[in-house]
Structure 1
Amino acid sequence: MEFQQLRMFLKAAELGSFTGAAREFGVSQPAISQQIGRLEQSLGRQLFERQGRQVALTEAGELLRRRALQIVSLVDDTARLLCDDGETGKIVVSAIPTIAPYLMPGLLEAFHEEYPRARVEVNEEVTEVILRRCALGEIDVGVLAMPASRGYLKFETLFEEELLLATSADHPLVGRDQVELDDLRDLPFVLLDEAHCLSDDIRGFCRRRLFQPVTTGRVSQLATVQQLVAQGFGISLIPQMAVPAEPTPRLRFRSLDGEKPSRTVTACWNPDRYQSRLMLSFLETLKHAPVHPSSRTT
C-alpha cells in the first residue's frame, strides 16, 4: 500500500469516478485504474463496484476510506507542523462567488503586506463544494454565507451585510421617498441560479414576509444580474460589498425602509486538521477585513 495510492483512492471515492480523479491528478484514467487495481490486489479486497463510467465503494472500500482519511490527514498535518514557522508556507482559501471578487483582493493585499513570504491560493466555489473540500482538508479556510452546516466544521461569524435594492435608473421606485419589501411583492426579480446561496437568502427573506419573488431569469454571475437589472429586466437585492464604488448611470441602489434584508458572512475550517500559525494569522486578518460600514446609495 502506497501513500499516493491512498490519495488517488480517496479522490476516486469522493468523485465517484476514475476519470474525474485522473483529471484532478493530471494523469490518464488508465493510470488511476492501474493504481487502484494494485491497491485492491495488495489488500486482497475489491474496493469499488465498477458501474460504467461511475464507481461506488464496496463495504471494504468504505472501511478503507475512513482509515485513509485519517492516515492522509495525519501525514499532511505532520508536514505542516514540522514546517510551521508562522511566516512561510501556503494557505488554500475558497470563497463563494458573491464574496470572492469583492472581499478577497483587499484582504490578500493586507495579508501580503504583513506576511510577504506566504503564499495564498484562492478558489471561487459554491457553498457545498467549499464545505466538502474543507471537510476533506483540501482547503484551509472557507468564506461563505450562512446558513451552512457541516457538523464537524468550525464556523465563525465575520460580519452581517445588508442587501441593497438594485433597480434600473428609470424604474418607478427610484422616485419614491420610501421603499419597503412589501412594495416589491409583485415585481420581477433577477436572481442567481440555484447553486448560489444568495438566492436562498433573498427567497427566505421574502417568504418571511409571506410572498415568493417572481423571477424573470437565473444567471450564474452577480455582474450579469446587475447588467440585466440595468436593462430593465427586473429588480434584485445585491450584497453591499458588490455595489460599485463609482456611480453607475443605468443602475440605482438603495437601502430598504423597515426590515432590511441581510446575509451573515462567515469563515469555516476543519478543527480536526492542524491549524498552522500562518493559517491562524490569516483568520485574524479575515476577521478584521474592511467591510462597508454603512449602506451606500447611488
Structure 2
Amino acid sequence: MEFDQLRYFLQVCQHRSFTRAAEALGISQPALSRSIQKLEAELGQPVLERKNRSLDLTAAGTLLRSRAQQILDLVEDTAAEISDDGRTGRLRVAAIPTIAPYFLPGLLKAFSTKYPEANLIVQEQTTDDLLRSCSQGEIDVGFLVLPVSARYLQIEPLFEEELLLVLPPDHELLSRKQIRLSHLQPYPFVLLSEAHCLSDGIISFCRQRSFQPVMMERTSQLAMVQELVSLSHGISMVPEMARKLDRSKRRVYRSLSGTPPKREIAMIWNPYRFESRLQKAFLQQVRDHVQESATPDRRRAQA
C-alpha cells in the first residue's frame, strides 16, 4: 500500500466521482482507476461500490478512509515537525469570499515582510468547504463569520463589524436624516447567492424584526452586488470592510439607525494537527494586525 494510493482514494471519497477526482489530482481517469483497483486487490475486497451515477463506500472503504486520513496526516505532520525552523515552510490560509479580498491583503503583506522565506498559499472557500478543509488538514488557518458549528476546531473571535446599507446616490432614502429598517420594506434587495453566509445574516436580521426582504437579484460576488446597486437594481447591505476599499462615487453607504446589523469575524485552526512555529507566528500576526487596525471604539471594547 503506497501513500499515493491513499491520497488518490481520499480524493475519490471526497468527490464521489473518478472524473472529478482525477481532475483534482491532475492525472488521467484510467490511471486513477488502476490505482484504486490495485489497492482493492491488495486489501482483498472492494472499497467502493460503483453505481451508474455515483460511488458509495463499502464497510471496508469507510474504515480505510478514516485510517488513510490518519496515516497521511501523521506523515505530513512528522515532516513538518522535523523541518520546522520558524522561518521557512508552507502555510495554507483560506477565507470566505466576503472576507478574503478585504482583510487578507494587508495581513499577508505584513507577514510576508516579516517572514520572506515562507510559502503562503491562499484560497477562497465557502464556510462549509473551509470547515471541512480545516478539519481534514488541507488548510492551516481559516477566516469566517460566526456562528459556525465546528467540532474539534479551535475558534478565536477577532472583531465585529457593521453591515452598512448601500444605495445608489440618487435614492430617495438618502433624503432622510435617519434610515430605519422599516423604511426599507418597499425596496427590492440585491444579495449574494445562498452559498454565502452574508445573505443568511442579512435575511435573519430582517426576519427577527418582522421584515422579509424582497430579493430582486442574486449574484456570486460582493463587488457585483455593489455594481448592481449603483445601477439602481436594488439596495443591499455590505460589510464595513468592503466600504473602506470602495472608491466609487456611484454608491452611498449609510448606517441603519437603532441597532445596526453586525457580523463577527473569527479565525479557526485544527489544534489536533501539528502547529508549526510559522503557524503560531501567523496566528499572533493576525492578533497584532487586528489590534493595530482597530478603531478607537473597538480598542476600548477589546480592553
Q: TM-score range by the shorter chain?
A: over 0.9
Contact 1:86–1:277 (8 Å) recurs in 2: yes
**Residues 235 and 294 from structure 1, CA distance in 2 versus in 1: closer, same or farther, beyond 3 angstroms?**
farther
**Residues 204 and 59 from structure 1, CA distance in 2 versus in 1: closer, same or farther, beyond 3 angstroms?**
same
- Aligned residue identity for 2:213: P
Q: CA offsets, 1:169-197, max 9 Å, x none? A: 00011121111222212321100000101
Aligned to 1:74: 74
SS of 2:49's equivalent?
Answer: strand
Aligned to 1:16: 16
Aligned to 1:210: 210
Aligned to 1:113: 113
Task: For 1:171-190, list aligned pairs within 5 A.
Answer: 171-190=171-190
SS of 2:190's equivalent?
Answer: strand
Task: For 1:262-277, list aligned pairs within 5 A.
Answer: 262-277=262-277
What is the CA–CA distance in structure 1 between the aligned matches of 2:219 and 2:84, rounded to whole Å?
42
What is the CA–CA distance in structure 2 between the aligned matches of 1:293 and 1:52, rounded to whole Å?
57
What is the CA–CA distance in structure 1 between the aligned matches of 2:103 and 2:75, rounded to whole Å?
32
**Residues 52 and 227 from structure 1, CA distance in 2 versus in 1: closer, same or farther, beyond 3 angstroms?**
same
After TM superposition, the score normalised by the length of structure 1 is: 0.95
How many residues get paired? 295
- Stretch deviating more after TM superposition (18-27 or 75-84): 18-27
**Residues 245 and 39 from structure 1, CA distance in 2 versus in 1: closer, same or farther, beyond 3 angstroms?**
closer
After TM superposition, the score normalised by the length of structure 2 is: 0.94
Task: For 1:1-298, list aligned pairs within 5 A.
Answer: 1-245=1-245, 247-290=247-290, 291=293, 293=295
Q: CA deviation at 1:272?
A: 1.4
What is the CA–CA distance in structure 2 between the aligned matches of 1:72 and 1:2, rounded to whole Å?
11
Contact 1:168–1:230 (8 Å) recurs in 2: yes
Contact 2:19–2:29 (8 Å) recurs in 1: yes
What is the CA–CA distance in structure 2 between the aligned matches of 1:129 and 1:40, rounded to whole Å?
29
SS of 1:137's equivalent?
Answer: coil
- Aligned residue identity for 2:107: L
What is the CA–CA distance in structure 2 between the aligned matches of 1:26 and 1:52, rounded to whole Å?
24
What is the CA–CA distance in structure 1 between the aligned matches of 2:132 and 2:227, rounded to whole Å?
32
RMSD: 1.5
Q: CA deviation at 1:150?
A: 2.0
Contact 1:18–1:54 (8 Å) recurs in 2: no
What is the CA–CA distance in structure 2 between the aligned matches of 1:136 and 1:54, rounded to whole Å?
23
What is the CA–CA distance in structure 1 between the aligned matches of 2:28 and 2:148, rounded to whole Å?
35
Q: CA deviation at 1:268?
A: 1.1
Q: CA deviation at 1:246?
A: 5.8
SS of 2:155's equivalent?
Answer: strand
SS of 1:156's equivalent?
Answer: strand
Contact 2:160–2:265 (8 Å) recurs in 1: yes
Aligned to 2:300: none
- Aligned residue identity for 2:31: A
Unaligned runs of 5+ in 2: 298-303
What is the CA–CA distance in structure 2 between the aligned matches of 1:31 and 1:206, rounded to whole Å?
52
- Stretch deviating more after TM superposition (257-266 or 279-288): 279-288
Q: CA offsets, 1:193-230, max 9 Å, x none? A: 00101001101111111111111010001010001111
Contact 1:161–1:239 (8 Å) recurs in 2: yes
Contact 1:240–1:292 (8 Å) recurs in 2: no
Contact 2:102–2:245 (8 Å) recurs in 1: no
Contact 1:164–1:240 (8 Å) recurs in 2: yes
**Residues 261 and 6 from structure 1, CA distance in 2 versus in 1: closer, same or farther, beyond 3 angstroms?**
same
What is the CA–CA distance in structure 2 between the aligned matches of 1:54 and 1:76, rounded to whole Å?
30
Q: CA deviation at 1:269?
A: 1.2
- Aligned residue identity for 1:140: D
What is the CA–CA distance in structure 1 between the aligned matches of 2:211 and 2:283, rounded to whole Å?
38
What is the CA–CA distance in structure 1 between the aligned matches of 2:271 and 2:115, rounded to whole Å?
23
Contact 1:241–1:292 (8 Å) recurs in 2: no
What is the CA–CA distance in structure 1 between the aligned matches of 2:191 and 2:294, rounded to whole Å?
23
- Stretch deviating more after TM superposition (46-55 or 231-240): 46-55
What is the CA–CA distance in structure 2 between the aligned matches of 1:243 and 1:260, rounded to whole Å?
15
What is the CA–CA distance in structure 1 between the aligned matches of 2:277 and 2:61, rounded to whole Å?
35
SS of 1:289's equivalent?
Answer: helix
